[in-house]
Amino acid sequence: MTSYLIKGVSLLGAAPADLLIKDGVIATGSAEGAEVIDATGLVALPGLVDLHTHLREPGREDAETVETGSRAAALGGYTAVFAMANTSPVADTAGVVEQVWRLGREAGLVDVQPIGAVTVGLAGKQLAELGAMATSAANVRIFSDDGHCVADPRLMRRALEYVKAFDGIIAQHAEEPRLTEGAQMHEGEVSTRLGLTGWPAVAEEAIIARDVLLAEHVGSRLHVCHVSTAGSVEVLRQAKARGVRVTAEVTPHHLLLTDELAASYDPVYKVNPPLRTQKDILALRQALVDGVIDIVATDHAPHAVEDKECEWAYARPGMVGLETALPVVLSVLGEEWDLIAERMSRAPARIAGLTGHGTDLTAGQPANLTLVDPSARRVVDPAELASRSRNTPYAGTTLPGRIVATFLRGEPTVLDGKAVK
């Protein structure tokens, strides 16, 4: 196995030092024979961990595969991603989660951890085989019907009770379906002006409020996907203050983009939950800083051209995000390296119970890390993305930070900003 000496790198913004990688771990001692990487001006972060990625395989390999999504992830600085269950067939059995897990291992670019569906076929009627998925080779600990809300409160309660036995998590897509029928964008001034049916903030907030009460009642773990409103932040703040076992994520796009973009009628801005207002953005940023929101998760949602380049009303919701997440977060938070490492690596690994990721870059730890050039600026070109889909809202936008290298257990997956395989 090749050893690497990463010279003059700044660990989380500290004074430059050398980092030695030997036999897949961070090492000390002689660097003899090691390949030298000049990392002057680069910052080392623990490899990023994404708790919310759509990889589309099985079923929509025209939009993404486990391999193309893994490559996009590595290029974005990730060493582990959690694959959502809304594939076709749905990942609601041990067979499908094992297939995704195996495909991830074969690709070998990031650790791919499947998320299992909560209900059979994401239909919200009957619990899926949570136990069988948990005891499968994929070792599933997080379950989600993402794309759909587990709307039935009794089913949600049963799911929370079921996973409590093995300290599992229900990750909820918080959307009261009766309040969002026909919804096309955030309900507010802009939707009124455009005459598009609105998706009101309360549809998210009402489900989060209900679910934190259910999680509290059961004593189980709830994770809230893609929090998008200021009101949701307040519900979470109160729940956390009471000691409810709830964690929450925000996407990079909800930290940066507003509902005004819908006025272009360009479906690249259509996403679920929808882009909200500047007031929501400011509340989400503050919540990310003070920890009411635990992590940034991409909700990387690749879609084939025909599903995106059509009329707004017919377009599928979702944006790709793996390759732009860190630059967007950098543009929002600035060079707050420790906070970024916490929200994009350590906390997601801790929440998921994922060992070997999100660890400090100290001797003996697995060499899962990424090197970033914070001084570089990049104009996002959709044609350059490794993802099989091109639906990025940042085309033509200049973002700070370039991911120069990523290492998975000491093997480079990205070098000089390019995927190694």
Contact between 272 and 175 (Cβ < 8 Å):
yes
Interface residues with ligand NCD (CB under 6 A) are: 54, 86, 146-147, 173, 271-272, 299, 301, 316-318
The answer to whether 294 is annotated as binding is no
Residue 254 is labelled as binding a ligand: no
CB of 79 to ligand NCD, least distance (A): 23
Catalytic residue among 92, 211, 299, 373: 299
- CA distances to 57, 100, 102, 139, 193 from 95, rounded to whole Å, are 13, 9, 11, 12, 48
Contacts of 227 (CB under 8 A, 6+ apart): 174, 204, 208, 233, 236, 248, 249, 250, 254, 284, 287, 293
52 known ligand binder: yes
Question: Strands, DSSP E only, in 280-336?
Answer: 295-296
Considering the complex, state which of residue 147 and residue 188 has its C-beta at the smaller distance from ligand NCD.
147
318 is in an annotated binding site: yes
Least separation, in Å, of the C-beta of 86 and ligand NCD?
A: 5
Computed on alpha carbons and rounded to an integer, the radius of gyration of the chain in Å comes to: 20
Shortest Cβ distance from residue 301 to ligand NCD (Å)? 4
Q: How many CB atoms lie within 10 A of CB 155?
A: 17
Cβ closest to ligand NCD, residue 39 vs residue 222: 222
> How are beta strands 169-172 and 142-143 bridged, if at all?
parallel
Number of residues assigned to the chain: 421
Instruction: Report strand pairing: 25-27 vs 17-22.
Output: antiparallel
Closest contact distance (angstroms) between CB of 273 and ligand NCD is 8
146 annotated to bind ligand:
yes
- Residue 418's H or E segment, with its range, is strand 418-419
Question: Is 299 annotated as catalytic?
Answer: yes
Q: Using the minimum distance from each CB to ligand NCD, give the nearer residue, 77 or 147.
A: 147
Taking the alpha carbons at both ends of the chain, their separation in whole angstroms is: 17
Q: What is the largest CA-CA distance in the chain?
A: 67
Is 38 marked as a binding-site residue?
Answer: no
Smaller CB separation from ligand NCD, 220 or 272: 272
- The least CB distance from residue 252 to ligand NCD, in Å, is 13
Give the residue with the Cβ less far from ligand NCD, 54 or 409.
Answer: 54
Q: Which residues fall in the annotated binding site for substrate?
A: 54-56, 86, 272, 303, 317-318
Q: Which residues fall in the annotated binding site?
A: 52, 54-56, 86, 146, 173, 226, 272, 299, 303, 317-318
Q: Which residues fall in the annotated binding site for Zn(2+)?
A: 52, 54, 146, 173, 226, 299
Mind telling me the catalytic residues? 299
